[in-house]
Amino acid sequence: MDLSEDDRALINVLQLAPRISWQDAGYVLGRHPTTLAAHWERLRTAGLAWVTAHLLGDPAHMTLSFVEIDCELRRRDEVEAALCAIPEVLSVEESASNRDLVLTVTTPSWADLTGRVLPQIARIPGIVKYRSAMCTAMHATADRWNLEALSAPQRARLRTLVSPSASSYAGPPPSSYWPIVQVLSRNGRATAMEIAEATGLHPVTARRQLNRVLGGGTLLFRCDVAQNYSGYPVSCQWFASLPPEERDSAVAVLRGFRSLRLCASTTGTSNFTFVMWMRSAAEVLGIEDQFLAAVPRARIIESSLTVKFPKRVGVMLNPDTTATGEVVVPALPR
């Protein structure tokens, strides 16, 4: 089952501008703002699409790592639940490959990763072993992926309303602002009034603090969609090895694929990884052929299909990839 054309168009607008007003979205889509707000609420309640915000760390010190987990088969569900409960474990996926689970882990510092988070993971009963690879450069991320469901005139109207953000990272928000961050982690489109109601803050205080959080480059907002309903139900991750001088060519060819969800350079034998969403597993071979033709000295070490995604960017997912409504909010930076 796929989303309707109206569903896809609305989600696409929010992928490109997650906090756009309903009035502006109505101008882009030629729909009444109230109708769009009700439409979005239906999608969000059904878990078909959602907007969240996740905390950014200091770009000079934060770490992003990919951790592969091997666990006892009989305890996999327990292990998944324990991993999903860790705020720094941003995403958890079950893979049909040489590892049982793959985690995306973010921490504000290397010391936090090695001194607290990895030991916490190692202590989970049922984990046999783990291996981690550090991200040394991020070339493409899923917040840039979109359904491409808008017409040319709709895209043109949206461009008149939305300009690239000029905000730069200004450090973590004060701890007193943390209730706002938690609300936005659960609902990235929360208004100042909704934040005031959820936190007990005075509406004027909530608006002032929200504006500071939004202007400080503290959070990355993202509109996600239930993969099984998107028209691209298959997710594949490739692990490759390539010489440093081939990196730019590899990134350039991969950015030509509209299905690209992640592309990163990493430490380890496989020093390059990328993820795509596809209509079917039959596309894997064609993608590999195009990649290797453009980057002849690259070597694909492994391709791995994802069979289950229990958690994606803090959001807990049902087996059918819809959101459960539960969000593991980020931890207050130490």
Would you say residue 167 has pLDDT above 60? no
Q: What is the pLDDT of residues 23-79, one digit of tens each?
A: 999 999 999 999 999 999 999 999 999 999 987 766 677 899 999 999 999 999 999
Amino acid making up residue 289: D
Burial profile 17-55: b = 16 or more Cβ within 10 angstroms, e = fewer: bbbbebebbbbbbebeeeebeebbeebbeebbbbbbbbb
d(CA 29, CA 47): 22
pLDDT of residue 97: 80
Per residue in 87-135, pLDDT tens? 999 999 998 888 899 999 999 888 999 999 999 999 999 999 999 999 9
Of residues 13 and 164, more confidence is placed in 13
Cβ-based burial of 275 (10 A; exposed 0-12, middle 13-18, buried ≥19): buried
Per-residue pLDDT at 58: 66
Residue that is written with structure tokens 């995306």 in the block: 104
Residue with more model confidence, 108 or 253? 253
pTM: 0.93
Q: Which of 6, 91, 89 is nearest to 48 (CA)?
A: 6
All domains in the chain, ordered by first residue: 173-217 (1.10.10)
Question: CA-based diameter of the chain, in Å?
Answer: 60
3-state helix, strand, coil in the chain (%, to 5): 40, 30, 30
- Mean pLDDT, the chain, rounded, equals 92
Confidence of residue 138 (pLDDT cuts 50, 70, 90): very high
* Residue percentage of the chain with pLDDT more than 90: 83
pLDDT at site 134: 95
Q: Token pair of 318, please? A: 């049902």
Output the pLDDT for position 331: 74
Kindly report, residue by residue over 236-250, the tens digit of the pLDDT. Answer: 999 999 999 999 999
Nearest CA among 140, 132, 162, 152 for reference residue 24: 162
192-199 helix and 178-186 helix, angle to the nearest 10 degrees: 110
Q: According to the model, what pLDDT value does residue 21 have?
A: 96
Mean pLDDT, range 78-82, rounded to an integer: 97
Whether the pLDDT of residue 176 is over 60: the answer is: yes
